[in-house]
Amino acid sequence: MDTSRLNIQLASGHHKGQAIITIQVPRNAEAMRALKGISQARWSQTLRCWYVPNTAIHFQEVLDCMQPLGYVDYRGLKIEKEVAVTAAANREQGKETAEVKTAIEVFGRYMRSSRYSESTVKTYTEALRVFLMYFSGRTISSITNQDLIDFNNDYILKKSLSQAYQNQIINGVKLYFNKVQKTHLQPQLIVRPRRERTLPNVLSKQEIKMLLAAHTNLKHRAMLSLIYACGLRCGELLSLKPEYVDSRRNILIIKQGKGKKDRIAPLSAKTIALLREYYSAYRPEKYLFEGQFMGQAYDQRSLQQVLKQALTKAGIQKPVTLHWLRHSYATHLLEAGTNLRYIQEILGHSSPKTTQIYTHVSTEGLQHVQSPFDTL
């Protein structure tokens, strides 16, 4: 078969609660070899196709591996604008030079040795790659402060890329030039976008009650309940170990949460009773919540699916995510009269400004405000 005539279709989709890029390609030996060379490429028996996570890095990797086989059609792929723009720009600017490749590798090693999370390493190295490849053909040492300003105006702003993406680029470039390259470059000359003020999504107590009661499976009910009962992030829940539950002091110890910080959260008698019931039934070995195999932490995508099933059973139509449970916990604490300082400590916020956002979604005070319309 002439692989140069292959028609490869990419499209956006969701699988097990994860945004993915589906890959539809005719089956032959050359195509299978290419697919198996793509990191995190998986076959879905349900979707009957191969897929990868929907990220800029994976999109670029799929193009690099599949384009030599034929025509790659990604018109049906709904992705963030910056993902498509980044991949297109990388193709237009050609392959990385040896200097750029070395710079990215050195930057990655620096970040890992400084104990940055792997997701931050990937985000910042990708940001640096985009920036350096914009100046392909030039040495890194020749890049000036004016180039930084021009890149911001002629690349980020001209292409109407998101504020979040602009901040990622700035953060990555700033860290590289300040800590690794140690040049006179001043990334602070790029004016950062004004932060959008978005309110956290919150469920009512009645909706939370329906959601947590939806599952008959004890493990599923315990996981969702603990996220809400202690205001946990998804990763924090999955990293918990049985010994972090201190029933004598009525606290939960959260190790190395966001920002590599330890903290504690109060545990109610009701929560402790639920965890004791769960522990007696499942007897986890290493992690408090383990998946199919003992000693391995429960899969994040599977947990998202657990939430999705609970929403369906509870008849809740809102696009709820696991983080909504954390937001709801903080808001309900505030409405019950808990001091903001305590809420900040429980949630692990570095700044009280982050916690104050919940004052804008609490309805406790607003419900006592009488509209002048009612007095007419």
Least confident window among 81-85, 225-229, 245-249: 81-85
| Structure confidence at residue 57 (pLDDT) | 65
CATH label, 205-366, candidates 1.10.443.10, 3.20.20.100, 3.40.50.620, 1.10.1760.20: 1.10.443.10
238 pLDDT tier (thresholds 50, 70, 90) = very high
Name, of 28-42, 182-196, 300-314, the range with top average pLDDT. 300-314
C-alpha–C-alpha distance, residues 73 and 54, integer Å: 16
What phi and psi values does residue 15 have, to the nearest 5 degrees?
-145, 120
Q: Determine the topology of domain 98-189 in CATH.
A: DNA polymerase; domain 1 (1.10.150)
| pLDDT surpasses 90 at 174 | no
Mean pLDDT of the 226-242 span: 93
Mean pLDDT of the 38-42 span: 80
Name, of 33-37, 88-92, 202-206, the range with top average pLDDT. 202-206
pTM of the model: 0.59
More confident residue, 39 or 141: 141
pLDDT tens digits for 44-96?
877 888 888 877 667 777 877 787 787 777 766 655 445 555 555 554 455 67
| pLDDT surpasses 80 at 43 | yes
Domains 98-189 and 205-366 share a fold: no
Length of the chain: 376
The residue ranges of every structural domain in the chain are 3-78, 98-189, 205-366
State percent of the chain over pLDDT 70: 83
What phi and psi values does residue 303 have, to the nearest 5 degrees?
-65, -40
Mean pLDDT of the 95-119 span: 86
| Structure confidence at residue 115 (pLDDT) | 84
Query: Looking at beta carbons, which pairs linking 240-246 to residues 24 or more positions away fall under 8 Å?
Result: 240/287, 240/288, 240/289, 241/286, 241/287, 241/288, 242/279, 242/284, 242/288, 244/288, 245/272, 245/275, 245/288
| Structure confidence at residue 52 (pLDDT) | 86
| pLDDT surpasses 90 at 223 | yes
| pLDDT surpasses 50 at 265 | yes
| Structure confidence at residue 248 (pLDDT) | 93
CB 102 within 8 A of CB 63: no
CB 66 within 8 A of CB 9: no
C-alpha–C-alpha distance, residues 248 and 4, integer Å: 67
pLDDT tens digits for 298-314?
988 788 889 989 999 99
Least confident window among 14-18, 250-254, 361-365: 361-365
| Structure confidence at residue 3 (pLDDT) | 43
Question: Amino acid identity of 69?
Answer: L
Catalogue the active-site residues: 233, 258, 323, 326, 349, 358
